[in-house]
Structure 1
């Protein structure tokens, strides 16, 4: 008999995170936690065998060693880690992971790209692409475009980078550009990590280009998070709605959504954003379709009908889609998951022009699994299925991701302010819009350096912020069933 335990025992938390549980229990008493590795590993296997998208590819339990460390045991269950399931993870502190999913973490507060400082490709520099408002890094004056060439007086390379950045307090040595080279200066700043609640809406503006008849809405959105994990659980979604109200009031007729720093997050916030953008918004239009593992797909269809897999746009009074012919989306190799869901989900209804690099390539959604008996704090972020758009398209779930409509390098130093005409991705968007950018501007004519990036992905200083998340925090029509 098939169990279907996880989906049938949904617990909806105030933070709007679904945590799938082991089985339905009438006894809600708290059980004393245990560190019994064998029990934990058995629980991990049971959860994966129940709802994991590739449950039928799991190795037989008899071939595994239950006394292995839980991290090692879990890795033996993950389906084709290097190419397919690059995303499922296990944690020994599910509460802390939940906080990080909601944008709360102990950080310096920087996003950056890594580039080689010399032709030997030995020493690495950290180019700050963003600094989180109110973070320790912002307090000491760090800003977009700053270049870090040393940490605690040591040159940075691939072997020492992680350990140096792992310190609670660091001293950064800043670099400058001289004759096309990046050199160390005498400028240093000391920064100590602190818990930061990051607003995913990093920046927005309304850009007027009257000569071309363009009013451009520009939004930098870093993570799909609906709100705070306690208190106002829809704070950020409501801020998005307020921004689009400003766009609507200003008569925005071109929209640029900058997702190059956005690795994903909650599907509910992706639905909010897409519903504010889509042309001819209707709650009868499908935003995306779910596809679960074979036994859940069969079970859901039998119990609720095939419409259960359809997820619709939501009613948004500040939708500006009818004023747009298209939407521009800026991407990088780190644009992933819910960001890609928005791109793919809008394509059946309007022209989506992507500018930058190819995206990461994740069409999988998952959720956080915790033990309902509270015997331990171990948890699993498990891949439950894939998403498809209204046309059934979902071809980007690989390391090549979504190819950009216009490939534009984002490695020209000094970095320009976000939203500036001479920031390379914005320059391209303006050109496509038919907006002329004067080539004689002093900013454009200043000396430029091409940095040889190690990868084309924007990173955050907390590793969890770099995880590619598409969190399914609700199941339409199943709640309270």
Structure 2
């Protein structure tokens, strides 16, 4: 077994030392579920959150001294029989906006790899003024998906699903429910109004749909300047080699500037963000990219070396292709979150990051996937799936830490504010990667110093309240995928 799996065994041994014959909880012991109780999922959640949750010290019900007996602990767990209610209403800190869970950990794990049940249509939703009615607009189509074979494209508007007007109350069930297919009723923009038309588009959700996060990667020749353009839509570690290959092409084509488009990117792998930042800035492995900050329990057990992530010179399989830039133009909006923001913040001490678009989402915490694997102290490991409790399929994705950059900055919970504010226009979303697409055109204007012929005034500003990008099991998650190379069996997590 790998060392980073072994390190968690020591934690679990410390957590199961209480005998059922002795109902009292002694100093240094954690509470245990009494035999016969059906609060198995709640027990797993409390134990995992008590150890790993970033705000463990701020939640009274997660305190190490909260319970004096196993009976009291068991009664507490059984008082909230629904796992979701227990997780959200009992265990979470008030300021936590992003921790989540899934009743099927395998769905959660698949989504973290870019695999989901999807028809390939990515869209945002907008609420009509003064009404509960809403409409959607297409932001892009996933290649090689069901939607890619249908007459629908970026910028198209829809108002109905299976003949029903979309509302604030029914859109979740109609668009994200268990239905395997649905038919969209389309609409047009007439002046400043959304007007229904008779066109319908039938779409089918496909199991195990895989999305390549690199939607567009090309080098543009703009007035003699070679500008690399990358439309990157999620940080997925299983596409690291493709990402590195794209930068290899940029270098081969002579690119000297980069427009990194993360306007719809909700996040993902922390390590992939480090690799992308290295492809932008450089491969000096002595330059600090980010430093982790855990709760007091975990933080005290880790050295500075274990907490620090440096820029990379390799993906693990191949040498990093780096543009070695001293500035980068980043397109980011309110749909840009977690690992997207991490790249911007991690690069800031070294590179001039020119942010074009809107204030980002403000998700500066990372998470890990926790499952009911008692022998592994809950952290999911693919080679231990046989060890997961067959009576408890729940997986939780709690926030367990924050990342600060080399300057020590991490406080962007209100989002990263753009240097150049520009919102998308529903009446002119443009074609992604086209030099006339407004946000890219604005970046190119900044790069070349030549005024664009594109209008930057928005006829219908795209102000959405929800996005399909945040409706997968992975949501806007930034997950830590760096093994902690340490033997925890020699360390002590017991109470003082």
**The TM-score by the shorter chain falls in which range?**
0.7 to 0.9
User: What does the per-residue CA deviation read over 1:72-115, in whole Å, with 9 as the maximum and x for residues that have no partner?
Assistant: 1112344434xx21122232211121011111111121221222
RMSD: 2.8
Stretch moving more, 160-169 or 35-44? 35-44
Of 222, 243, 246 in structure 1, the residue corresponding to residue 246 of structure 2 is 243
Query: Structure 2 vs 1, CA of residues 170 and 254 (structure 1 numbering), >3 Å: closer, same or farther?
Result: same
User: What does the per-residue CA deviation read over 1:330-369, in whole Å, with 9 as the maximum and x for residues that have no partner?
Assistant: 1111211111111111011110111111111111111101
1:233 aligned residue: none
1:222-237 paired onto structure 2 within 5 Å: 222-227=233-238, 236-237=239-240
Q: Which runs of 4+ in 1 moved over 4 A?
A: 18-22, 61-64
Cα distance in structure 1, aligned partners of 2:220 and 2:451:
13
Contact 1:345-1:390 at 8 Å conserved across structures: yes
Q: Does 1:351 align with 2:360?
A: no
Cα distance in structure 1, aligned partners of 2:341 and 2:258:
17
SS at match of 2:301: helix
Cα distance in structure 1, aligned partners of 2:86 and 2:458:
49
Per the normalisation by structure 2, the TM-score is 0.81
Of 100, 109, 121 in structure 1, the residue corresponding to residue 111 of structure 2 is 100
Contact 2:306-2:484 at 8 Å conserved across structures: yes
Cα distance in structure 2, aligned partners of 1:207 and 1:191:
34
Q: Does 1:23 align with 2:15?
A: no
Cα distance in structure 1, aligned partners of 2:198 and 2:131:
23
Of 276, 283, 289 in structure 1, the residue corresponding to residue 285 of structure 2 is 283
Contact 2:111-2:472 at 8 Å conserved across structures: no
1:328-407 paired onto structure 2 within 5 Å: 328-372=329-373, 373-375=387-389, 376-396=392-412, 398=413, 400-407=414-421
1:28 aligned residue: none
Q: Structure 1 residue 65: deviation in Å?
A: 3.0
2:5 aligned residue: 11
Stretch moving more, 308-317 or 340-349? 308-317
Q: Structure 1 residue 37: deviation in Å?
A: 3.8
Contact 1:20-1:367 at 8 Å conserved across structures: no
Cα distance in structure 1, aligned partners of 2:139 and 2:296:
42
Q: Structure 1 residue 421: deviation in Å?
A: 2.3
More strand per residue:
1
1:472 aligned residue: 480
Q: Does 1:152 align with 2:130?
A: no
Query: Structure 2 vs 1, CA of residues 216 and 36 (structure 1 numbering), >3 Å: closer, same or farther?
Result: farther
Cα distance in structure 1, aligned partners of 2:214 and 2:369:
24
1:315 aligned residue: 313
Stretch moving more, 48-57 or 216-225? 48-57
2:100 aligned residue: 89
SS at match of 2:229: strand
Contact 1:124-1:157 at 8 Å conserved across structures: yes
Structure 1: gaps (5+ residues): 1-7, 13-17, 26-33, 228-235
Cα distance in structure 2, aligned partners of 1:264 and 1:19:
26
Query: Structure 2 vs 1, CA of residues 146 and 89 (structure 1 numbering), >3 Å: closer, same or farther?
Result: same
User: What does the per-residue CA deviation read over 1:128-147, in whole Å, with 9 as the maximum and x for residues that have no partner?
Assistant: 00111111111223211111
Structure 2: gaps (5+ residues): 15-34, 374-386, 490-496
Query: Structure 2 vs 1, CA of residues 415 and 214 (structure 1 numbering), >3 Å: closer, same or farther?
Result: same
Query: Structure 2 vs 1, CA of residues 21 and 183 (structure 1 numbering), >3 Å: closer, same or farther?
Result: farther
Per the normalisation by structure 1, the TM-score is 0.83
Stretch moving more, 160-169 or 123-132? 160-169
2:197 aligned residue: 185
Cα distance in structure 1, aligned partners of 2:294 and 2:458:
49
Of 456, 460, 466 in structure 1, the residue corresponding to residue 469 of structure 2 is 460
2:54 aligned residue: 53
Count of aligned residue pairs for this structure pair: 434
Q: Structure 1 residue 10: deviation in Å?
A: 4.3
Cα distance in structure 1, aligned partners of 2:217 and 2:8:
33
Contact 1:116-1:451 at 8 Å conserved across structures: no
Query: Structure 2 vs 1, CA of residues 95 and 121 (structure 1 numbering), >3 Å: closer, same or farther?
Result: same
